[in-house]
Structures are given as structure tokens and as C-alpha cells.
Structure 1
Amino acid sequence: MPNLYGRNMSRHEIETASGSLGHAAGVRLMSLSDGLERGIRLLEFRSGTGLRFTVLIDRAMDIADCEYRGFGIGWHSPAGFRHPGLHEYEGEGGLGWLRSFSGLMVTCGLDHILFMYDAAAENYVYGPRETVRQSIHGRVGTIPAELTGYGERWDGDRCVLWAEGVVTQGTVFGEHLKLHRRIEIDVGSNDIRLHDRVVNRGFYRTPHMFCYHVNVGHPVLEEGARYLAPISDVVWAAHADSYHAQNVGYQTMPKPQFGFHEQVWQHELAAEPSGEVPVALVNDRLGLGFMVTTRKDQFPCQYEWQNLQAGQYAVGIEPSTNHVLGQEAARERDELIWLEHGDAREYDTVFSVLPDAAAIAREEARIGAIAVQPTEAYPGLSGNFVPLGTRP
């Protein structure tokens, strides 16, 4: 039963109060019409709690805006929500992706994540293609989806807002991968449920790598905001050779910095007995936080991204199928996932707004019960990249 305006309401009560659920909650199709965003279709979700978020249909059905009762959560970069038709995948030596990088969630994959890499292409049995040139974080995030449905579904007194779509990444003499995505939220809830299924519809043996770049911005991110995670080991930091130079540790965030170079950490995270791994960024001053809950068997690796430069201020929570070492290392370590025709991988993730101090305290206790994260700002780096096992 949805909790709206401070009380639980049945479907009958909601329908007596208004001729349409849309007065409180709903999902509707829109399009952007100006500047770099012109022509992008999006879905706007409102859950009735004050949570509003948008889904960019024409950019892999990623989540763009996200706000709670007027407080911003999702990151807006200077790149904006750029129309995919303007994207140059191999531009700027493979860094062109950064000109389309913005929003709460950006999907990375489907066959490559992390930095640029020229992958051997003998699996595609085409002589002229000796390698597949991979730009940073792969192609999928700027591919339009086929919207297969959206709307509201009542089940007794429960109402679910939902959307589904299919993103196709394919080429001749190469990969033919499909991302089937479903996004749901219950009316009266602050939990966004994401279910992804990646399947090889082609007949070549094809690599698969997958990552969510979940980006939290101001005001959840501000001086004093805290990163909470069940960290059992701090494995790696991109800035290890200058660990203290920027005076920014992994857990407590500073105000926007000038001349800041991004910092990336890989943490080994423990899971609950259910297999769930919760990670959050919380703002104690506001009594507001944002949490990402994944499954260890689906995303065995996690990164923390700190882009604390003024004007680009963001912290990223990044669940991943692979270590931060990249595709070359995944191949060498026999940890790259290979999909034959019809093979699929599934991913179940929940994005949760933590609306008050009590919710923050509850989830902090939950995370601490899984593993007690380091108290020091600069934990020792183990370099222990846990073997992921042979990946079929």
C-alpha cells in the first residue's frame, strides 16, 4: 500500500482523492528540445515521496536527473545530456566518451570497460579486422534503446511504475549483444530497482565486461559527506605514487577543489549472507544519502571515483564485473567473460534514497555489520586482486 503524504493509502482512497494517479506519482514520456540535448526521448518517474528521476531512452535507458524533495542527487557535468547522434566514439584518442559523460548513472560495456584497449579480433573470423579498437568504457552508453513499454501496474493496493527497453550493440563481422533493461519503483517508495540482462544474439564468441558509473553530486556531495562501504581490503589506488599529495582520503569528502586530479580506488567489499553489497554516500548535515545495492556474484569488483574538481564535483560508486586492471589483464588472468550464442548475464541493482538521519544510521549499522571499513583516510594498499576464477 503506497505511503503518500504521510499515510498509507489504498487504491480506492487514492482514486477517490483524484481522477488520476498522476497528481501524486507516475511515469510519462517526454523529449528534450534544445541545444546538445535536442531530440532525446526521456521518461520522467515520480514516486510520490518527492523522488523524481529521468531515464534517457536514447542513451541506453540510463538515469539522468535524480532529485529528492528539491535536493539534487544525480551529477550534472559540463557535457550535459548530449544527443547520441553527436557522439564520436573514437574521438580524442578514445576519450571522446567524456563529452557525453553526465547523469546519475552511465552504463559501461557491453564488451569493454575502463581505459582504451585494442582487443584481438580473431574470434570474429574476419581478416581485415585484426583488432577491435575500444575507447574508454565502451559503446553502450550512447546507443538509443528500443522502448518496449512503460506505465503503471496495480496489484491489489500496490502500484509499480515501470519501463522496459532493449539496447542493441552490433556490427557486421563483430559483436551482436543486446541489453534488456527494466526499471521499476513502487509508488510511495524511495527504492529504484534495475534489472539488466545482457545476451549474445550473434554467433561469434564475444567478450563481455560491464560496469555502472553511478555519480552522486551536490548537495549530497559536499564538505563532510561520507563514503560508507563494507570494505574488507583496500586493494589499489590510481594515485598510489602520490597518496597524500592532494590531502583527500577515501572516506570523508572535501569542498570543491582547484587543480584536482581524479582519484580512483578499488576496494574489496564483503557481502551479506544474501549476497548483497550496499554502498552509500551520506550527508549528515542534510540528513540525506544515496545507496547502491548490488550482488557480489554479479558484480564482484567495486571502484570509488573521486572527481572533486570545482565545476565537475562528483563521487562515483562503480560496481564492475572485472578488476580495475582492465581488459588486457582480464584476458591474461583468464577472468574475461565470454558469451557464446544465447549466453546471458543478469544484474540486479537497487538505488535507494536515504531520506533522513534515521535511515542513514540504519544503513550505516547494516554496512558495519558486514565489514568494518578502515578508519584511516589513507589505508595501506594490499595489491591483492582476488582471483575471479575462470570466466565462462
Structure 2
Amino acid sequence: MKVKLTLAAITLALASLNTQAAEFLLTDAATGSDVGNWQVTSSTLGMTSGPAFSVEKRRLHGGKQEGVDVLVVNNGELSVTLVPTRGMGIYQVTSQGHRILGWDSPVKEIVNPAYIDLESRNGLGWLDGFNEMMVRCGFEWTGHPGYDDDGHLLTLHGRAQNTPVSMVKVIIDDQPPHKITVLGQVAERTFKKTQLVTMTELQTVPGSNAFSIHDKLTNVSDYDDEYQIIYHSNFGRPILEKGAKVTIAASEISPFNDYAKAGLKEWQTYLGPTKGFDEMVFNLKSLGDSKGNTLAVLNNKAANSGVSIHYNVKQLPVIGLWKNTDTESQGYVTGIEPGTSYSYNTKLQRPLGLVPTIKAGESKHFDLTYTVLRSSAEVKGALKEVAKIMKGKDVKLVKEPLAKE
């Protein structure tokens, strides 16, 4: 008897023999290949023992989003929209058709980097595409625009987020719980300058209320170099509202500039949309447990929904807090930003010891987990984790900014 197998079944069978996983190469600059619009589901893979899941790649059209690829990873509980064309940033996270992580930016399209001039507005052109839930600021540099020691303009928050990935691969474990992994390679290569290559990785398990980031930054040059990274994580409605609260395990906090001094004592709480409110930014020194693990928590006023970000202070020693409680149409949003650095210009961060070096051939790893908090019990549990790390201590308030722009 002859048996006919689908292409997906053949791919799964072959992959299972070798790696116990189904692998799909979606984009590869080395061979100039791309699968175009594409989808795989738990059903087509014959993985029916747990929650249904799917991964879909599609190309956007119209306006400044023309040619942008998005990758939607639906684990059955959360649907995470990745943007390979924009440095594998995360556009938003939805559940049952409703956005739960993300924000409403004045930038309404997912903008193709081809339409962005990073040097416009004296280095603020990055803002023309800024609307994602998670943006990688770096890796060559990050922070406010300004000139380096050689007189070259360093634009706002680096180039990674506006660099299309060179490779996209999806890996789905053959055995339950069928972990889903998405890989994307971001290459920052400039003749006579930087050669930094980052393998970005997102992982999630079907049915989970969490997803994790595991990035590997490698200096493929023959020379040592500097690097910086901020995981600019941005949240608006439905979590952000008047009376919402942020809780961060930290040893101290300082205002980013003189304007932020006025909000230092109330740094944990939020206003509702407020016309005329300029952004306030705060610098925090992260505090971890014995292994360096720590977290930040944002919850709504009722403390029955929110989000936590777990990371490690040995990888990401500081965290920025950006409070932009302007009007809804102007972008009502807060940013919780674990990183190697604050958002000052690179020149100002060297004296603070926040411009680390990566040796030739060396790799650095960055691991974060985002967990959607769906109930009072889950919010309470996350806050208890922070309290355990803090051991009854308060965050020290430092009244003056660490640097002057």
C-alpha cells in the first residue's frame, strides 16, 4: 500500500530523526530566499496533544508599511507579533483578539526602515517608526543623539531596530509541550567600524502566559569594540491608567534631568492622560537575588492585571523608567527599560561605567521573560518576588541627575 505524506509531515519526520524538532527557514539573505506568506499550525504538524498553536508570516502593504514582514506567534493563550523587518522587535501582544501588551502611538503603521532617515531632526528620525511594545535600542550604541569623539553623529537609540534581519527560522519541538522558538539575525556591519551580529531568539510554550527573549551578541571583528543595549519595553492601555503602579527591585533611583526631579517621590504611580505633561525619565540601579535574577512589575490600579519583566543584573545592570503620560492621541505610554546603559548620550555614560566592551570574537547573552499577569493572585505573586529581593529595604532616592545633557 502506498502512503502519501504532506510536505509538513515529511519535514517533521526528517527533523525528528535528527533534532526532535520541526525547523522552517523562512528568510535567508545568504541565499537570497524567502518563503513569502506562510503558516504552520499544530494541526498541520499533527501535534494535537496540547493547546492549539500557530505561527504565521505575512507581508504588509500600503503606505510606509509597504514590504514589512510580520510574524505572528499564537501559543493558544498569547499572540505575539514580531517584526523581522524592524530588528525582530515586538509590535504587540494580544489575547482572544484584544491587545494586552502594547500602546497607541501616533505612528499608526509598522514603518519600513527604508522610509526612515535616522539622522533627521538632529538624530531623532528613529521616532518616525516608534510604536512597538519592545524595541532593541543598540547594539553599537544607544541613548540620546549626539556626536562621538570623532565628530560623527550617533542617532537616537542606535540602528538595530531599523535593521531588517538577515535570517528568520522557526523551530517547534516535536515532543510536548512543543516549545516554539523564533530566531532572527541582526547584523550591524560597517566597513572600518563595527561588526556586531546578534542572534535574537523568542521562545514560548503553547498555553503559556509568558514568552522569553534570549539574545546572543557576538563581535565578529578582529578588534575589541564597545556595545550598549536597552530593551525598551512599552505599555499603554489596558494596564496603564490613573493609579497604575510600577514596582522595581532596585537599590537607588535618580531623575534623568532636572524636569524629572518634580516626580521623583511619586515615581511608582501614574497620572491619567495629562495634556502638557512632558516625559519624565528615571534611572534605577537594578538589584538582584544571589544569582542576579530580578524583575520589574507594572500593574493597573485595581492590581488585578499587569506585566512582569524578569532579567539578570549581571547582563543588564540598570533599568530606565520612562513615564509619558501625555494625552491619548500623543501617545499615553510608559517604558520599562532593562539595559547595560541609561538613555544618556554615549559620551555621558562612559564616566558612569555604562559603555561596556566586547572583545574580538566574544559573545554576550541577554535573557528576559515577559509574563502577562491575569489576576490579583498573579500580580500579588510578582510583587512578592520583588519584595523578596528587596529584603525590606526601600529604593534610595538620589535627588540630582547622574549626568547633565
TM bucket (normalised to shorter chain) is 0.7 to 0.9
- Aligned-residue Cα RMSD (Å) equals 2.6
For residues 266 and 373 of structure 1, the distance between their equivalents in structure 2, rounded to whole angstroms, comes to 18
Deviates more, 1:270-279 or 1:58-67: 270-279
1:119 maps onto 2:148 in alignment: yes
For residues 226 and 23 of structure 1, the distance between their equivalents in structure 2, rounded to whole angstroms, comes to 33
Alignment of 1:25-174 (within 5 A): 25-49=53-77, 51-69=78-96, 70-80=98-108, 81-120=110-149, 130-155=150-175, 157-174=176-193
How far does residue 192 in structure 1 lie from its aligned partner after superposition?
A: 0.7
For residues 384 and 267 of structure 2, the distance between their equivalents in structure 1, rounded to whole angstroms, comes to 19
For residues 368 and 388 of structure 2, the distance between their equivalents in structure 1, rounded to whole angstroms, comes to 20
Give CA deviations for 1:346-373 in whole Å, capped at 9, x if unaligned.
1011111011111001111111121157
Could you say which residue in structure 2 is the equivalent of 1:388? none
Amino acid of the structure 2 residue aligned with 1:136: L
Out of 268, 288, 293, the residue aligned to residue 285 of structure 2 is 268
Contact 1:47 1:186 in 2 (8 A): yes
- Structure 1: runs of 5 or more not aligned: 1-13, 121-129, 386-392
Give CA deviations for 1:95-120 in whole Å, capped at 9, x if unaligned.
11111111110110111111112223
For residues 260 and 235 of structure 2, the distance between their equivalents in structure 1, rounded to whole angstroms, comes to 27
How far does residue 250 in structure 1 lie from its aligned partner after superposition?
A: 1.1
For residues 377 and 54 of structure 2, the distance between their equivalents in structure 1, rounded to whole angstroms, comes to 27
For residues 213 and 163 of structure 2, the distance between their equivalents in structure 1, rounded to whole angstroms, comes to 18
Do the aligned partners of residues 161 and 321 (structure 1) sit closer, same or farther apart at CA in structure 2, a change above 3 Å counting?
same
How far does residue 284 in structure 1 lie from its aligned partner after superposition?
A: 4.4
Do the aligned partners of residues 276 and 384 (structure 1) sit closer, same or farther apart at CA in structure 2, a change above 3 Å counting?
farther
Do the aligned partners of residues 240 and 259 (structure 1) sit closer, same or farther apart at CA in structure 2, a change above 3 Å counting?
closer
Describe the SS at the equivalent of 2:126: helix
Describe the SS at the equivalent of 1:264: strand
Contact 1:116 1:136 in 2 (8 A): yes
Could you say which residue in structure 2 is the equivalent of 1:184? 203
1:195 maps onto 2:195 in alignment: no
Contact 1:248 1:254 in 2 (8 A): no
How far does residue 374 in structure 1 lie from its aligned partner after superposition?
A: 5.0
How far does residue 337 in structure 1 lie from its aligned partner after superposition?
A: 1.7
Do the aligned partners of residues 36 and 15 (structure 1) sit closer, same or farther apart at CA in structure 2, a change above 3 Å counting?
closer
Give CA deviations for 1:64-112 in whole Å, capped at 9, x if unaligned.
0212342432123112321111010111100111111111101101111
Contact 2:51 2:206 in 1 (8 A): no
Give CA deviations for 1:258-303 in whole Å, capped at 9, x if unaligned.
0110000012231122311110111143721111111000000111
Describe the SS at the equivalent of 2:183: strand
Alignment of 1:1-392 (within 5 A): 24-49=52-77, 51-69=78-96, 70-80=98-108, 81-120=110-149, 130-155=150-175, 157-240=176-259, 243=262, 249-285=266-302, 287-310=304-327, 311=329, 312-333=331-352, 335-371=354-390, 372=392, 374=394, 380-381=397-398, 383=400
For residues 42 and 189 of structure 2, the distance between their equivalents in structure 1, rounded to whole angstroms, comes to 45
Amino acid of the structure 2 residue aligned with 1:134: L
Contact 2:143 2:342 in 1 (8 A): no
For residues 353 and 281 of structure 2, the distance between their equivalents in structure 1, rounded to whole angstroms, comes to 24
Contact 1:27 1:152 in 2 (8 A): no
State the percentage of identical aligned residues. Answer: 23
Do the aligned partners of residues 292 and 241 (structure 1) sit closer, same or farther apart at CA in structure 2, a change above 3 Å counting?
closer
Do the aligned partners of residues 150 and 274 (structure 1) sit closer, same or farther apart at CA in structure 2, a change above 3 Å counting?
same
Amino acid of the structure 2 residue aligned with 1:119: D
For residues 141 and 304 of structure 1, the distance between their equivalents in structure 2, rounded to whole angstroms, comes to 19
Could you say which residue in structure 2 is the equivalent of 1:4? none
Contact 1:233 1:382 in 2 (8 A): no
For residues 309 and 275 of structure 1, the distance between their equivalents in structure 2, rounded to whole angstroms, comes to 34
Contact 1:76 1:103 in 2 (8 A): no
How far does residue 325 in structure 1 lie from its aligned partner after superposition?
A: 4.3
Could you say which residue in structure 1 is the equivalent of 2:34? none
How far does residue 30 in structure 1 lie from its aligned partner after superposition?
A: 1.4
Do the aligned partners of residues 110 and 46 (structure 1) sit closer, same or farther apart at CA in structure 2, a change above 3 Å counting?
same
How far does residue 15 in structure 1 lie from its aligned partner after superposition?
A: 8.0
Contact 1:279 1:293 in 2 (8 A): yes
Amino acid of the structure 2 residue aligned with 1:260: F
For residues 46 and 260 of structure 2, the distance between their equivalents in structure 1, rounded to whole angstroms, comes to 62
- Structure 2: runs of 5 or more not aligned: 1-40
Normalising by structure 2, we get a TM-score of 0.81
For residues 286 and 355 of structure 2, the distance between their equivalents in structure 1, rounded to whole angstroms, comes to 20
How far does residue 172 in structure 1 lie from its aligned partner after superposition?
A: 1.5
